Structure 1
Amino acid sequence: MTSETYPVDATNRVKRRHDRGRYDHATVHALLDAAALCHVAYVVDGQPYCTPTLFWREGTHLYWHGSSASRMLRNQSDGQPACLTVTHLDSLVLARCGFNHSADYRSVMAFGRARLVEEPGETARALTMMVDRFFPGRTATLRPSTGQEIKATAVVVMEIERASAKIRAKGVADDEEDYALPIYAERLPMRTLIGAPEPCPRLAGDVARPENLAAYREGRALEDALADAYRTAYP
């Protein structure tokens, strides 16, 4: 896929408030890379499921992982249609009537066909990036995974065939005649911030916190740390 914009059709076109829709790679990818947790939706025997999981992006491919025994992975081995979503909540909006209460947010829906990663070399690389995408260079410092641990973990990849981002950044938006009403209104900004690191109480010896975790510092926005980690892992 060489276009800088994802194709738009009935599947991914933003239908309500189409002015909030974005389809360019830069916007879609930036929102994906600033998130750690996604929700993957799929259908098994006519029953819809939606599973939360960690994920990461490589170009126009999305990867996620889970237990080899999970329903999600068992049913995404042969090109199962799937939809992966992420959402960044930026604010809650209190307006002067219930209808105009809202939220500011940035979201992505990505569509494609999911398949299990089965080639040994690709699996090994994916299991490395499952960690290093979030904590660049960390896998090289760890105890190697055992054969049983690797066997118990499955990885899914999905090429993004269609995608759309939807962004609301409007704050309070009341009907014009409502602004004169003596009713309080406000925007409540929301951010996910990193708390103080809590070292394992059973650390052996004088093990210091690695320098490559410096991006994950107390008080920093999680999405900024994740975006920095992505740029380091995929320069």
Structure 2
Amino acid sequence: MEDINLYPLYLSLQVALTATFITLLIGLPISLYLSKSKSKIGDMIDTLVTLPIVLPPTVLGYYLLVLLGRQSKIGIFLEENFGMTIVFTPAGAVVAATVVAIPFLIKSAKAGFANVNKDLINSARLLGRTEINIFFTIIIPLSWRGIASGTTLAFARALGDFGATLMVAGSIPGVTMTMPIAIYDALLAGNRDLANALVMIMTAVSITVLYIINRLEKKMIRG
């Protein structure tokens, strides 16, 4: 069997980690807002952020192509002002992974935020604490389990994404070919030995990552 190129594995891990970081930055404020909101606007936002879970990945990828493609307003703006292209680049893979992963974080974090005792928050306000201080010293520590669970699910989803990433980033070897896409290409080429090897590597890496995360969560609970 030919030598296995591990670049797709490296790219998959890099994309998943970057997407998870972006998911936390964007998802936590949205989760906090949704946990408090009882308005129709909040319901609409909740529906929109949940949509990537139920939409077929190819449909989601198509929407991203239309929104971020080189002929779109956003694509033209980014290229003319920053010389940046999203589609068929590693950045496109990160965007696709972020979009498919963020609902999992938002749903879990929202549940965690909703369970925080409101009396503690109100007491902190009476003591003169700022909202940012309350968020980081009270809300986050009391809802970290929901956040940790959502982060784990988001990372796993980003790591294993295929459809949306293929649509937005393509399958350029050494550039945008992530591990799931490399497996697909190996099967298309009839190279079952390579596909089997890549599948085993991906499975082992996924199990290892999830095991480490679960152990860290248990240590935090005991601590």
Q: TM-score, normalised by structure 1?
A: 0.24
Counting strand residues as a fraction of each chain, which structure ranks higher? Answer: 1
Counting helix residues as a fraction of each chain, which structure ranks higher? Answer: 2
Instruction: With a CA cutoff of 8 Å and minimum separation of 6, indicate the structure with the bigger relative contact order.
Output: 2
